[in-house]
Amino acid sequence: MPHDHHGHTHIDPTTGDKRVAGAIAVNMLLTFAQVIGGILSGSLALIADALHNFSDAIALIIAFFARKIARRPADPRMSFGYGRAEVVAALINYTTLIVLSVYLMYEGIMRFFQPEPVNGWMVVWIAALALIVDLITAALTYTMAKDSMNIRAAFIHNVADALGSVAVIIAGAAVILFGWTWVDPAVTILIAVYILWHVKSEIGETIRVLMLGAPSDLIPEDVATAIEATEGVAGVHHIHLWSMQEREPALTAHLEIAALHWSDADSIRLAVKETLKSGFGIGHVTLELERTDQACTAPPRFGHHSWHQA
């Protein structure tokens, strides 16, 4: 499947930094307001939303610094550059979301057994303020989230929090209209479940990049078959297909050239590179050329022989 490298609107890094910084500021102010409101109103759901908003701010802070680190140029010690700083930041943010969700579920369950009075009106007003801030944050980061796993992790924090704010408003309204204080811990648990569901859908790709897995939108065997379809190529082995960083696939492989085509080996190598670039969006390609009568003995098609086999 070809990669689409032109489907997203790219934002100037400095402008992006300003947007993230603005989102951090409003989320920190909101967290403070929600914690005070949650304590005064007795609402666990509001405190849960505050904790999640605080995690939004932390996520954005991590994302902010990861963006800056990722832009550093490659050097002799870090020859692949620093782009994966954003992927590491995404994993940290998803991990904190999991921990936060488990904590909120625990607190929500405990509140069912030890219910406390809730000031519905205070909950509604502060949650409404939170929703406005969540929408502002979403507007600031939405475009960047399309292009960055790092910002997308922070954006998911924010989307979950916006829905959490809506749920808290519903909980406050239930207290005002019907006196249903049980809705407050129920909403807390629903917020936690929703966060976990979102993390489950996104964390896999983050781990895949860090574990040097093949990009999810590329089928390794299709890539190998396309290489072998190139005239003069007798076979391919020791294929390593991975992501240098998000949306930057890379490949290394041993290319077997038929003996009668050996004189054209360089042009065959260039043809394979063009196939990989145009057909699969793989721009970082390293190929080792082997003549068929001098090729590796019984090599694996993908990966390499382990030096540490038992």
pLDDT tens per residue, range 221-265: 999 999 999 988 999 999 999 988 777 899 999 999 988 889 999
Where exactly does CATH 1.20.1510.10 map onto the chain? 13-210
Q: To which CATH superfamily is domain 13-210 assigned?
A: Cation efflux protein transmembrane domain (1.20.1510.10)
pLDDT tens per residue, range 123-146: 788 778 878 877 877 777 777 666
Residues ≥6 apart with Cβ < 8 Å to 64: 17, 20, 21, 24
Where exactly does CATH 3.30.70.1350 map onto the chain? 220-294
At residue 5 the predicted structure's pLDDT band, cuts being 50, 70 and 90, is very low
| Separation between Cα atoms, residue 251 and residue 270, nearest integer Å | 14
pLDDT tens per residue, range 106-119: 878 887 787 766 67
- Of the options 3.30.470.20, 3.30.70.1350, 3.20.20.70, 3.40.50.300, the CATH number for the domain spanning 220-294: 3.30.70.1350
Torsion on CA atoms 268, 272, 277, 282, rounded to nearest 10: -130
Average pLDDT over residues 288-306: 84
